[in-house]
Amino acid sequence: MSILKMFVNDLPLIGAVLVFSIIFFSVATLFIDVPQQFVDTIRDEVKKMESIARETNFLAILLAIFSNNAQVNIMISIPFLNIVMYPTMILSTAWALRVYVGLQSSKANIFNDLVYFLALLFLMPHFYIEFFSYSLSLVASMKLAISMLKKEINKEKVRYFLFLVVFSMALLFIAAFIEATLMRVLASSSL
């Protein structure tokens, strides 16, 4: 079976993972509090990302975003490790959004502000491209892991795995370009 045909056959599964991921991210953002022992670490990461956003060099912003997302994607792509990494990535991203919103708003308005920031995020195209990319890598690594467990691994399955991972990385680069562009536009606007 060709790689393209395998990809088309997997699109419903990839789509289901994408929808589940967005729902889990939304619920985690709105309802799962950040454990106190992680708050300082996440706050430092949020501040690091804010400093990247203020960076004037577009290429530096682009590479910082892509590098961060590519590292996560590589960990999701590792068979068996993906079982832990994927939900951890979604939860830590949701917690980062909670910490960021917490730094920007008062305690009284935190839920309303979380809903507002979540809605804004849903308007950003890079959000969907990143989550689609991560969904591709998860499905690729899960399929490879299942093949390994069944001892049915072959060149075609490895090629398909590599295709999905490389394709997901290309999508992450496009998403990073869009995100960096949006950061520059928003930073230069008077909003």
Measure the CA–CA gap between 148 and 117, rounded to whole angstroms: 41
Residue 191 has a pLDDT of 47
pTM: 0.89
Buried b (16+ CB within 10 A) or exposed e, 126-165: bbebbbbbbbbbbbbbbbbbebeeeeeeeeebeebbebbb
Q: What is the pLDDT of residue 38?
A: 83
Q: Where are the domains of the chain?
A: 3-188
Cβ–Cβ under 8 Å, residues 52 and 114: no
pLDDT tens, residue by residue, 20-36: 999 999 999 999 988 88
- Which residues are within 8 A (CB) of 159 and not within 5 positions of it... i.e. 6 or more apart? 3
Q: Is 76 within 8 Å of 85 (Cβ atoms)? A: yes
Evaluate if residue 55 carries a pLDDT over 70.
no
pLDDT at 35: 87
Give per-residue pLDDT as tens, 132-191: 999 999 999 999 999 999 999 999 999 999 999 999 999 999 999 999 998 877 766 644
Is the pLDDT at 104 greater than 80? The verdict is no
Does the pLDDT at position 108 exceed 70? no
Q: What is the mean pLDDT of residues 96-124?
A: 83
123: three-class secondary structure by DSSP = coil
pLDDT computed for residue 111 by the predictor: 83
Q: Beta-strand (E) ranges in the chain? A: none
Residue 137's nearest CA partner among 167, 159, 107 is 167
Q: What is the pLDDT of residue 170?
A: 98
Mean per-residue pLDDT, 69-84: 94
The stretch 115-141 carries a mean pLDDT of: 94
Q: Is 61 left (phi over 0), alpha (psi -120 to 50) or beta?
A: alpha
Mean pLDDT score of the chain, rounded to an integer? 89
Beta strands in 43-96 (DSSP E): none
CA–CA gap between residue 107 and residue 148 (Å, rounded): 49
Closest CA to 172 of 36, 71, 48: 71
